[in-house]
Chain A
Amino acid sequence: MSDRISISFTGIAKRYDARVVFRSVSGEAGPGEALVITGPNGAGKSTLLAILCGLVRPTRGEVRHLGAGGEAIERDGWRRHLGVVAPSMALYDELTAIENLRFFARVRGLDRDDGALGGLLESVGLEPARRTPVRGFSTGMAQRLKIAQALLHDPAVLLLDEPSSNLDPAGQDWLEGRVRGLVEEGRTVVLATNDRREMEWGRRHVALAG
Chain B
Amino acid sequence: MSRWLAEVVAVAAKDLRAELRTRVALNALALFALTTLAAVSYTIGPFRLAEEDRPFLLAVLLWIVILFAALAGLDRSFVKEEESRTAPLLRLAAAPSVVWAGKLVYNLCLIVVLTAMLTPLFCVLMGFEVALPWRFAVLLAAGGLGLAVITTIIAAIIAQAMTRGALFSVLSLPLLLPLVIFLIQGTTAVSTGDLETYRNSLRAVLSMTGVMTIASAWLFPLVWRD
- A contact set with B: CB distance below 8 Å: 50, 53-55, 57, 79, 82, 84, 86, 88-95, 99, 103-104, 106-109, 133, 149
Contacts and interface: CB of A to CB of B under 8 A. Distances in A.
Given A50-B88, A57-B226, A91-B86, 18 more contacts: A53-B92, A55-B91, A84-B89, A86-B88, A89-B85, A89-B88, A90-B89, A91-B89, A92-B14, A92-B84, A94-B17, A94-B22, A104-B93, A107-B7, A107-B11, A107-B90, A107-B98, A108-B94
Interface of B: 3, 6-7, 10-11, 14, 17-18, 21-22, 84-86, 88-94, 98, 226
Contacts of A91: 86, 89
A123 to B, nearest CB: 19
Given A92-B14, A103-B14, A108 B88 contact: no
Contacts of B93: 79, 104, 107-108
Nearest to A108: B93
B3 A109 contact: yes
Residue from B88, B90, B226 with most neighbouring chain A CB atoms (10 Å): B88
Contacts, number: 62
A89 to B, nearest CB: 4
Q: DSSP class of B's interface residues: helix, strand, loop or mixed?
A: helix
Q: Looking at chain A's contact residues, is the secondary structure mostly helix, strand, loop, or mixed?
A: loop
Contacts of B22: 94
B89 A94 contact: no
15 contacts: A54-B92, A55-B91, A79-B92, A82-B92, A88-B85, A89-B89, A90-B84, A90-B86, A92-B84, A95-B18, A99-B14, A104-B93, A107-B11, A109-B3, A133-B21
B127 to A, nearest CB: 41
B85 A93 contact: no
Contacts of A79: 91-93
Nearest to A106: B10
Contacts of B6: 106, 109
A92 B86 contact: yes
B10 A107 contact: yes
Contacts of B92: 53-55, 79, 82, 84
A82 B92 CA distance: 8
Given A104-B93, A107-B93, A94 B21 contact: yes
A109 B92 CA distance: 13
Contacts of B91: 55, 79
A91 B18 CA distance: 12
Contacts of A50: 88
A99 B17 contact: yes
Nearest to B84: A90
A94 B80 CA distance: 12
